């Protein structure tokens, strides 16, 4: 599971860096300041959770089941949270109105919070 967590962390990190560079260079001339800031929020949260998975993969006191749950929650959360933010920020560049999927952003955020809650619970139940 640790290898899977680190691999996922690396993939999420790579994608975050690519999207961050894309936003800073290619999108800066076509998005408003607010839209670009929104796009950067998606990148930032994706990178935070790439680093989170990297840390979770290095903690030996967390059960494999908890690591699997955290992994699933983070992937789902990043796809829904950051993915919907990317779509909403670039909404004016497509013919599809991504505002209709805006409801998934808080669901993705809740999944990311749940991943951190699993880590908190796992850590709090271990003996000092």
pLDDT in tens, 55-91: 999 998 899 999 999 999 999 999 999 999 999 999 9
The pLDDT score that the predictor gives to residue 22 is 93
pTM of the shown model: 0.91
**Domain definitions of the chain by residue range:** 2-125
* pLDDT at residue 94, as a whole number: 84
Amino acid 128: pLDDT: 60
Q: Which of 4-8, 93-97, 100-104 has the lowest mean pLDDT?
A: 93-97
Token pair 């260079």: residue: 25
* % pLDDT > 70, the chain: 98
């Amino acid at each position: 599971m640790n290898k899977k967590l680190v691999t996922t962390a690396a993939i999420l990190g790579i994608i975050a860096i690519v999207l961050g560079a894309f936003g800073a260079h290619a999108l800066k001339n076509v998005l408003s300041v607010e839209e670009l800031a929104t796009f950067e929020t998606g990148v930032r949260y994706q990178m935070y959770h790439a680093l989170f998975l990297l840390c979770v993969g290095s903690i030996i006191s967390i059960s494999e089941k908890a690591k699997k749950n955290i992994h699933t929650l983070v992937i789902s959360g990043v796809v829904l949270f950051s993915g919907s933010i990317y779509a909403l920020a670039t909404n004016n560049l497509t013919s599809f109105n991504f505002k209709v999927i805006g409801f998934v952003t808080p669901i993705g955020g809740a999944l990311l919070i749940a991943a951190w809650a699993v880590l908190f619970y796992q850590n709090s139940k271990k003996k000092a």
